[in-house]
Amino acid sequence: MRRLPGVLLAAAACALAGCSSGGGGGPTVDVVSTNTECRVSNPMVKAGKTTFVLENNGSKFTEAYVYAAGDRVVTERENVGPGTKAKFSVTLEPGTYEVACKPGQTGSGIRRRLVVTGTAKKSAAPKAPDRALTITAKEYSYDGLNGFTVKAGETVAFSMHNEGAKEHEFEVLNAKGDALGEIAPTKPGSTGTVTLTFAKPGTYRYVCGVEDHEQRGMKGTFTVS
Ligand SMILES: [Cu+2]
């Protein structure tokens, strides 16, 4: 859905979402996106921190998503220009996932299966939310996050109602800039949800990754302590 050209923007996206944060060991999955293909270097990895290196060998801007069952977005990287690479990391629990390349940054993408092996951690069972937070999104701001803070270890069920005229999303990045989770692009009049556990203290960021909404003001921070 995002078609902003420009190296600057790609670099900014990189800085925001932590392109250089892949140094924590664990497997690396190379993903090559062309105009018609999505090549994934290994279809099976061990559970834990996985680094994805997305290379755009096509002629359009591309993005990559990692989906868990039910098309739940685990992580994503967008605005990767032709001939460039981007790195992003996420901790994967055992299970079956799909990697999607989206040349032109639209549609459901070209899907490849990714199996994550190993034993689920005890904490992997979905935690019941400690509380719920309802926010609204419109052009170009969020409402409902003023004064929002979290205690480390808390699980919050976010619900975002889109009161605007354009699609909006709600991405949360941890203190290291890694994606924690997101409410995927949500249509005007619709509500999207995500439940996130804030394990570690720090300053977290939230942004709308649709087009240039972040620059227009759809961003902010909150503290986990
Ligand atoms: Cu937006």
Q: What is the pTM of this model?
A: 0.55
Using the mean position of ligand 1's atoms as its centre, give its distance from the Cα of residue 159 in Å. 15
| Section 173-190 average pLDDT | 91
Decide: residue 119, CB within 10 A, 0-12 exposed, 13-18 middle, 19+ buried: exposed
Could you give the CA distance from residue 47 to residue 50 in angstroms, rounded to a whole number? 8
| Residue 180, Ramachandran bin (φ over 0: left; ψ between -120 and 50: alpha; else beta) | alpha
Q: How far is the CA of 116 from the centre of ligand 1 (A)?
A: 32
Give distance in angstroms: CA of 98 to centre of ligand 1.
Answer: 25
Instruction: Quickly state the pLDDT bin for 13 (edges 50, 70, 90).
Output: very low
Q: What spacing in Å lies between the alpha carbon of 79 and ligand 1's midpoint?
A: 15
> Ligand 1 centroid vs 189 CA: distance in angstroms?
13
Residues in the 5 Å CB sphere of ion ligand 1: 168, 208, 210, 213, 218
Cα of 219 vs centre of ligand 1, distance in Å, is 9
The predicted pLDDT at position 12 comes to 43
- Ligand 1 centroid to Cα of residue 164, in Å, is 9
Question: Range with the lowest mean pLDDT among 21-35, 101-115, 153-167, 191-205?
Answer: 21-35
Query: 38-72: per-residue pLDDT in tens?
Result: 999 999 999 988 999 999 999 999 999 999 988 88
131 and 159 in contact (C-beta within 8 Å)? no
Residue that the structure tokens 């290994």 belong to: 42
Sequence-distant (6+) residues with CB within 8 A of 146 are none
